[in-house]
Amino acid sequence: MTANSKKNETALYEAIGALKTPDEIRRFMADLCTPGEIKSFAERWAIARLLDQGQSGYREIALETGSSTTTVARVSRFLKQENYQGYRIVLDRLKSK
């Protein structure tokens, strides 16, 4: 990643962090992303929430969300194994509300 790319990425994260309400986030995302990208993000977030509940298997989650089992497995890997822990941060934060 180039220095300029890293700078732009950081600026994007700062912009997202400046948003204060779900409506502001929705509006920003509508400008930033295609409807298909937003659908994919929403699908992955639904998968993460269902995996976190621990009540359904990969096939059931794939059927419920309209995703592939490959996508479910990828979200599961990021939820449980990867160092980023972005899903975990938000899931835990929302549980504590």
pLDDT digits (tens, 9 = 90+) for 12-48: 999 999 999 999 999 999 999 999 999 999 999 999 9
The neighbour count for residue 87, using CB atoms within 10 Å, is 21
pTM of the predicted structure, to 2 decimals? 0.89
Identify the architecture of domain 34-97 in CATH.
Answer: Orthogonal Bundle (1.10)
The per-residue pLDDT of the chain, averaged, comes to 96
Cα(30)–Cα(49) distance, integer angstroms: 22
Domain boundaries, the chain: 1-32, 34-97
Tell me the mean pLDDT in the region 59-86.
96
